[in-house]
Structure 1
Amino acid sequence: MRLSLLLLLLLLPGPPPTPGMEDAAFPHLGESSQPPPRACPPRCSCPRADTVDCNGLDLQVFPDNITRAAQHLSLQNNQLQELPYNELSRLSSLRTLNLHNNLISSEALGGPPVSAPLPPSCGSGCQPSDGDLPAYLWGEARAQLSNAGLPPDAFHGSEAVVILSLSSNRLSYLPPSLPPSLERLHLQNNLISKVPRGALSRQTHLRELYLQHNQLTDSGLDATTFSKLHHLEYLDLSHNRLASVPAGLPRTLAVLHLGRNRIRRVEAARLRGARGLRYLLLQHNQLGATGLPAGALRPLRGLHTLHLYGNGLDRVPLALPRRLRALVLPHNHVTTLGARDLAGTPGLAELNLAYNRLVSARVHRRAFRPLRALRSLDLAGNLLTRLPGGLPGGLHTLRLQRNQLRALEPEPLAGLDQLRELSLAHNRLRVGDIGPGTWHELQALQVLDLSHNELSFVPPDLPEALEELHLQGNRISHVGPEAFLSTPRLRALFLRCPGGGWGEQGKQASHDQHRTGRLPGPPAPECGGYSGQPRAGPDPAATHNSTSATGREPPSPEGSSSVAQTPGAPLGHGPRRRCLSGASTRLSQASRAWPGSWGQGRCVHTQGAPGETQARSSHARHADHTSPAGRGPHSPHKWRRQQ
């Protein structure tokens, strides 16, 4: 009886604990004092619950212990030789997969398979999200992959992947059975010569496809290759071996990059399906004089930009789309501009004809008159001996450097009251060749480049609005007292000597408010003398913007952002400006020897060869826009929904 009572007491629950008496640090039975460890493969990092980063670990085997919740998997810069089906198939939540820089081969595939087309799972109103892969997962694309480790069912079960990168590999054809959910596919820098028929028939959500730097030929594509891609907006086929524009382009396509192929002819029939195309890049092909017949681009009614850089064209193509806004034709063989050559594109805002063979006698005086919307005109690197006439009054930028100009007259510049930048560098201009009143109507001109001409002194009556003046590389031997009286807003003056004066570094002096008549001090002997007498000034040591005079620390001689004292103003007074230079600058030690206004913190340009002009060149912007990551100037994120 007593034993039974004792057992009953032992089985009864005890009294409830008194509040505040428990030991919070003591773990209760069945509980852990720490949260459960996050599943992460050995040596990999898992910064978030949905991210696995195994970049650059020299892995030879696909890592195990990858959480099923992973959405971003980065495996670039390893030595994987196969991509096992069973590992990817269980990662049903995976959205981005990066397979750069591995050793996967493709002999196991046997031959290019054919995928049966499936109906689209996204209707016409579907708007897939970007699903951008975090930047720290992508790294550098230097892969050495091929198809041997990509079995036909490698991506079976990966129904959520929207971004897949297999770029810079050794793939010889487009991999089979790619996830139908893809929105962005990177296959650039491979050995792909063929896209098997039907290989892209299921990827109806694909928006961006990168196939540049491969070995694609016309026989490797057919009319159905891209026809099922009903959401495709960006297609890069540059740096291949194509001889013609691919057929079957979808109407949703906005950017088509075909630069650096072997295209000899563009046919209108190949472009009829791509009615929404806005950017067509055909630079560095082999079009020649007959490869772009009149009306070939007429189906592209909404075309915004056309690049034809380096195609051997001997004239501006005829019958271009009327809505064209930018026509880029540098480095061709154009010799003539007729009165009606540009009349079909009245909406042009940018025209680049740099580095052709234009001569003044063959440029009609009304050639540019129809272009009332033109804002930028680049005629650099031609054979012009005089300014063209009939320039549109709305021009903002006019580039005429590296021609053979020998004279400037007021008539061609009349009416250009909106011109902000004029480049006349590397011509044969002398001060006597600049007619009186030439600058009179350029009321908005802010940047004038007259560098590397044959000027013997600063041209008079420069525009009042001028802020930046390039005169380096001329024969200027002195600066007169009246040189800058007409330019009170001048902030940057370049007066480097052709022979490397001023300590053979070249000077860049910042100037403001020359109304006082206080002029720059004498230049170095290499550049000649000075017409007036050096004005009296403070001690040269004090002209280094000393703390006692200005209340600020003097700038470092080797600093990259030296500031210059306002010339002509008492030391420590007036506005201060940064020296306008893309290169690093330093204060000239030689400037301290002259107490004039140039001695007050002027700058020395220290980058590039002596005599190199600082004028900005536009034609380089249009050379090539291929970006390995698809983020070049014409990437989808730049052009999408532009009007």
Structure 2
Amino acid sequence: MREILLLSLLALCQAKPYQRINVMGFPRLHDIMLQDARDDDDDDDNNFLFPSRGSLPPEPECPFGCQCSLRVVQCSDLGLKSMPKKIPTDALMIDLQNNKITEIRENDFKGINNIYALFLVNNKITKIHPEAFRNMDKLQLLYLSYNLLTQIPANLPKNILELRIHDNKINKVQKNAFRGMRSLHVLELSANPLANSGIELGAFDEMTAFYIRIAEARLTAVPKDLPSSLTELHLDYNKIGKVEVEDFYRYKNLLRLGLGFNQIKFVENGSLASIPNIRELHLDNNKLKSVPAGLDSLKYLQVVYLHANGINGVGVNAFCPAGQNVKKALYTGISLFANPLKYWEVQPATFRCVSGPRGVQLGNFRRRK
């Protein structure tokens, strides 16, 4: 069940033009989470979520213009410039997306301690008080995307499962910004003007995360201080120029790595040896002249994107192990199209460890303008 939940969250996590979130679709997600909790931990901590209709108390007072039902408070698309008053203190979900809120003050959520999900997407928020989220020990979904924040809010609740803060003005991740957040599955930081120099040493200390995406930023190198727990790292659409040997020392658990749409000219020998369990590797739309060394030693690699580079030759052992070495999982996809590669000169044995004839994509090269 945890896998189902994580896949659901990842599907929501891609940085795209603003689309209104269907908040009323989340109760089903809650049901998945409750089932997951029963299966894995037999934990009763979440019993407060969505009680049976027969046990519901009378409907509480609702902020003017909002809709309140089943502890879900919907105040979206109302043109609000500040937090509405009289939000029920037993609210589980609060939807404030697509308004004009500019600031979250210290007492805006005072007394709302059981909240599970808070949606502040597509507002004009520039400032969040350091104590705004105090006592929100059960908050697990916090969406702050499409605002005007310049740094990570201070004192974030420790139990957040997903933090979406892409498409803001963040140019700095301060030291201890995520300190103590050991339950984080997904962190989305894309589409912020964040450079490597803006990530302070210790910014990710005492933090656990499985999926981080910092695409469409100003990175010129792979960040080396991210959590070692990562299984997915996506750094697409940056200005990374090369991959160095020490880049992945911390990230030995990586299963998927996205480096597409950068300016990578070469991958140093030995760089990929630190991620032996990698399943999917994106290096498309870069400036590579050859297939990176070391792919043949990655026994579990199944998908590798190398299209739209400058690759002009492929050796017979570029992808598959030689001699008696065994590949644990066959390739299901290798993309080499849009390269100046004479594919008719590539030896058939080059793809001997591909699962089938459709697993390789070759094509004529067209010079990019």
TM-score (norm: length of structure 2): 0.77
- Change in 2 beyond 3 A, CA 1:360/1:74: closer
Q: Within 5 Å, give how 1:166-565 maps onto structure 2.
A: 166-230=144-208, 232-288=209-265, 290=266, 292-320=267-295, 321-344=298-321, 346=327, 347-360=330-343, 362-371=345-354, 376-382=359-365
2:62 matches 1:43: no
- Change in 2 beyond 3 A, CA 1:66/1:295: same
Amino acid at match of 2:164: H
Alignment partner of 1:241: what SS? Answer: coil
CA contact under 8 A between 1:352 and 1:378: conserved in structure 2?
yes
Distance in 2 (alpha carbons) for counterparts of 1:360 and 1:71: 57
Unaligned runs of 5+ in 2: 1-56
Distance in 1 (alpha carbons) for counterparts of 2:361 and 2:248: 29
Distance in 1 (alpha carbons) for counterparts of 2:185 and 2:68: 29
- Change in 2 beyond 3 A, CA 1:65/1:244: same
**Which residue of 2 is the match for residue 546 of structure 1?**
none
Give the CA deviation at 1:374.
6.8
- Change in 2 beyond 3 A, CA 1:87/1:325: same
Give the CA deviation at 1:155.
1.4
CA contact under 8 A between 1:249 and 1:271: conserved in structure 2?
no
Alignment partner of 1:366: what SS? Answer: helix
- Change in 2 beyond 3 A, CA 1:52/1:362: same
Distance in 1 (alpha carbons) for counterparts of 2:201 and 2:353: 39
Give the CA deviation at 1:199.
1.0
Distance in 2 (alpha carbons) for counterparts of 1:233 and 1:80: 31
Distance in 2 (alpha carbons) for counterparts of 1:160 and 1:259: 32
CA contact under 8 A between 2:116 and 2:140: conserved in structure 1?
yes
Distance in 1 (alpha carbons) for counterparts of 2:315 and 2:215: 32
1:536-560 per-residue CA deviation (whole Å, 9 max, x = no partner) reads: xxxxxxxxxxxxxxxxxxxxxxxxx
1:460-515 per-residue CA deviation (whole Å, 9 max, x = no partner) reads: xxxxxxxxxxxxxxxxxxxxxxxxxxxxxxxxxxxxxxxxxxxxxxxxxxxxxxxx
CA contact under 8 A between 1:215 and 1:240: conserved in structure 2?
yes
Alignment partner of 2:118: what SS? Answer: strand
Distance in 2 (alpha carbons) for counterparts of 1:360 and 1:376: 15
1:566-608 per-residue CA deviation (whole Å, 9 max, x = no partner) reads: xxxxxxxxxxxxxxxxxxxxxxxxxxxxxxxxxxxxxxxxxxx
- Change in 2 beyond 3 A, CA 1:90/1:341: same
CA contact under 8 A between 2:123 and 2:146: conserved in structure 1?
no
Distance in 2 (alpha carbons) for counterparts of 1:248 and 1:374: 40
- Change in 2 beyond 3 A, CA 1:333/1:68: same
Give the CA deviation at 1:99.
1.0
- Change in 2 beyond 3 A, CA 1:37/1:182: closer
- CA RMSD in angstroms comes to 2.0
Give the CA deviation at 1:327.
0.8
Give the CA deviation at 1:175.
1.3
Amino acid at match of 2:79: D
Q: Within 5 Å, give how 1:96-107 maps onto structure 2.
A: 96-103=117-124
**Which residue of 2 is the match for residue 88 of structure 1?**
109
Distance in 2 (alpha carbons) for counterparts of 1:211 and 1:70: 27
2:35 matches 1:58: no
The structure whose Rg is larger is: 1
**Which residue of 2 is the match for residue 112 of structure 1?**
none
2:53 matches 1:75: no
**Which residue of 2 is the match for residue 591 of structure 1?**
none
Amino acid at match of 1:353: L
**Which residue of 2 is the match for residue 137 of structure 1?**
none
Alignment partner of 1:250: what SS? Answer: coil
Unaligned runs of 5+ in 1: 1-34, 104-144, 384-643
- Change in 2 beyond 3 A, CA 1:73/1:338: same
CA contact under 8 A between 2:175 and 2:201: conserved in structure 1?
no
Give the CA deviation at 1:47.
2.2
1:24-78 per-residue CA deviation (whole Å, 9 max, x = no partner) reads: xxxxxxxxxxx95532111100121x11000111123321121111010111122
Give the CA deviation at 1:179.
1.3
- Change in 2 beyond 3 A, CA 1:365/1:56: closer
CA contact under 8 A between 1:51 and 1:71: conserved in structure 2?
yes
Q: Which residue of 146, 161, 177 maps to 2:126? A: 146
Amino acid at match of 1:300: I
- Change in 2 beyond 3 A, CA 1:62/1:368: closer
TM-score (norm: length of structure 1): 0.45
Amino acid at match of 1:191: K
Give the CA deviation at 1:381.
2.8
1:112-152 per-residue CA deviation (whole Å, 9 max, x = no partner) reads: xxxxxxxxxxxxxxxxxxxxxxxxxxxxxxxxx222xx122
Amino acid at match of 1:186: R
Alignment partner of 1:302: what SS? Answer: coil
CA contact under 8 A between 2:343 and 2:362: conserved in structure 1?
no
Give the CA deviation at 1:370.
4.6
Which structure has the higher relative contact order (CA within 8 Å, separation 6+)?
A: 2
- Change in 2 beyond 3 A, CA 1:163/1:36: closer
CA contact under 8 A between 1:351 and 1:374: conserved in structure 2?
no
Amino acid at match of 1:326: V
Alignment partner of 2:104: what SS? Answer: coil
CA contact under 8 A between 2:103 and 2:126: conserved in structure 1?
no
**Which residue of 1 is the match for residue 27 of structure 2?**
none
Give the CA deviation at 1:372.
5.8
CA contact under 8 A between 2:108 and 2:132: conserved in structure 1?
no
Distance in 2 (alpha carbons) for counterparts of 1:299 and 1:37: 56
Give the CA deviation at 1:102.
2.3
CA contact under 8 A between 2:337 and 2:364: conserved in structure 1?
yes
Give the CA deviation at 1:319.
0.8
Distance in 1 (alpha carbons) for counterparts of 2:201 and 2:143: 25
Amino acid at match of 2:111: R
Report which stretch shifted further, 248-257 or 361-370. Answer: 361-370
Distance in 2 (alpha carbons) for counterparts of 1:374 and 1:269: 35
1:272-299 per-residue CA deviation (whole Å, 9 max, x = no partner) reads: 22111100000011111x3x11221111
Distance in 1 (alpha carbons) for counterparts of 2:109 and 2:88: 11
